[in-house]
Amino acid sequence: MGDQIPDLQFSSLGAISASISTTRKSFLEHRTRDVEFRLVQLRKLYWAIKDHEEDIVRACALDLHKPRFETEIAESGWLLNDIVFTTRNLHKWVKDEKAHDIDLPFKIMRPKIRKDPLGCVLVIGTFNFPFQLTLGPAIGAIAAGNTVVIKPSENAPNSAVIIQKICEEALDPLCYSVIQGGVSETQALLAERWDKIFFTGGANVGRIIAKAAAPFLTPVVLELGGINPSIVSKTADPRLVARRMLWGKTVNAGQLCTSQNYLLIDKSLVPQVIEEFKKAYKEFYPQGAKKSLDYSRIINKNHFQRLKSMLDNSKGKILLGGTVDEDDLFIEPTVVLVDSVEDSLCTQESFGPFIPILPVEDLDEAINLANSVQSTPLGLYPFGSMADVAKIISSTRSGGVSCNDAALHIPTLPFGGVGESGYGAYRGRSSFDVFVHRRSITSSPSWLESILAFRYPPYAGKLNRF
């Protein structure tokens, strides 16, 4: 593709229903059942992503000012690794599974579990990692043998255009299609029957998705956000806390579902942690974040305004950063000392570069405060000794935990929320598992009839034989 990325065109309602009926028909014709067919699709997708690596970098830069480094690692590189991992393992994953824990007499029936595709599935993506979080679930859906309709986020329009280009170049159009659009197009999609809907985005839209799926009893995966706490015990290393927590909130300018929303820090450690934040900020951005090529911008004016009012409404004291520039959609990484979890910076998911710090008396207070927040987080970031970290994990809930780290999630480990942060998990083998139906199969040989005849009426006297 040339330098210019064309404007995003939303799909017409006619195109939406045509592509759904084509993909559904293709599933019913069993086009995607053959494992070799799926592997070919995934390999073609691999090469199309490779061919469009520069377009991906450009689209992410236009949509989010995303640095090349972050795009290559977390968008194109991530997907390429995911496809390699999936294609290497697919033959193993699709194999029938032997049933375990079966009583001896039933073993004669050779019980096994087949991994069947679910059917025609819908993947709805989000804007912050537009390629990874849209094509990532689609890789699992393709591997599992489904036909797939993909709806990228309209909030990252350049990325949405490139996603469509990649899919149309790589994938069989009878089985896989991309629908572009905003709320009305997504609602038109949701009015249809699906065999699974995989949604990544905010909790409010997640509720809309679950409601729309209910009349059809369509299973849903909701990959939502969270008000993620970091709990820092007095045994933590302040330098490590500051460097890692600053990283967690500067990657993609904090537009990262797994980044920490607030820090609960043992009060004895607060002054040192603040000093270390200042040092780390200078080290990461010697000329300041605004002048750095390594710092993203906020996706659009709506999100900028939302973040600005969170900061304006905070009663906390800004210790670092605090600069904003609406024309440039720039918000500086900002450390704020707050005095309550009720502060505006803690009560909502910021999905931006804010680092509110709340000093606490001890670990018990931190755990109680983290548990008092009504929403169960997607991620939890405990810092401290092994004993302190173990105590934090065993007395809290969250989708995942990164001990002594921020935001990190190993790419092939199951990833998903709990409670308000969503349900269902994917990544690695789970991306395949989440898109298959585990179909239990038994077969009763005819010679078993003499024993099975026991179940037929008349029943008289049969129970006494036990």
Residues in touch with ligand NAD (CB under 6 A)? 124-128, 133, 151, 153-155, 182-183, 186-187, 200-202, 205, 208, 223-225, 257, 349, 351, 378, 417, 422
Is 223 among the residues known to form the active site?
yes
- Cα–Cα distances (Å) from 354 to 72, 386, 417, in that order, read 25, 27, 22
Residue 407 in tokens: 């935001």
Comparison of 224 and 311: residue with beta carbon closer to ligand NAD:
224
Comparison of 160 and 392: residue with beta carbon closer to ligand NAD:
160
CB of 301 to ligand NAD, least distance (A): 13
DSSP at 198: E
**Residue type, position 251, single letter:** V
Comparison of 125 and 384: residue with beta carbon closer to ligand NAD:
125
CB of 376 to ligand NAD, least distance (A): 13
Is 167 among the residues known to form the active site?
no
Distance between CA atoms of 356 and 316, rounded to whole angstroms? 8
E strands within 194-271? 196-200, 220-223, 229-232, 262-266
Which candidate in 75, 257, 346, 420 is catalytic? 257
Comparison of 349 and 405: residue with beta carbon closer to ligand NAD:
349
Contact between 344 and 369 under an 8 Å Cβ cutoff? The reply is no
Position of minimal CB gap to ligand NAD: 225
CB of 126 to ligand NAD, least distance (A): 4
Residues 6+ apart with CB under 8 A from 323: 290, 330, 331, 332
The C-alpha R_g of the chain, in whole angstroms, comes to: 25
CB of 68 to ligand NAD, least distance (A): 21
- Evaluate the CA torsion angle 283, 262, 411, 202 in order and state its sign: negative
Distance between CA atoms of 255 and 123, rounded to whole angstroms? 20
CB of 278 to ligand NAD, least distance (A): 28
For 209, the 3-state DSSP assignment is helix
Comparison of 26 and 186: residue with beta carbon closer to ligand NAD:
186
Q: Which of 113, 118, 115, 114 is nearest to 217 (CA)?
A: 118
Distance between CA atoms of 165 and 9, rounded to whole angstroms? 12
- Cα–Cα distances (Å) from 109 to 439, 442, 443, in that order, read 15, 5, 5
Distance between CA atoms of 167 and 163, rounded to whole angstroms? 6
Residue whose token pair is 């985005």:
201
- Evaluate the CA torsion angle 416, 419, 420, 422 in order and state its sign: positive
Comparison of 206 and 238: residue with beta carbon closer to ligand NAD:
206
Which candidate in 75, 185, 223, 276 is catalytic? 223
Distance of CA 171 to the CA centre of its chain: 23
CB of 451 to ligand NAD, least distance (A): 51
Comparison of 32 and 128: residue with beta carbon closer to ligand NAD:
128
Distance between CA atoms of 357 and 275, rounded to whole angstroms? 13
CB of 229 to ligand NAD, least distance (A): 14
- Positions annotated as catalytic residues are 223, 257
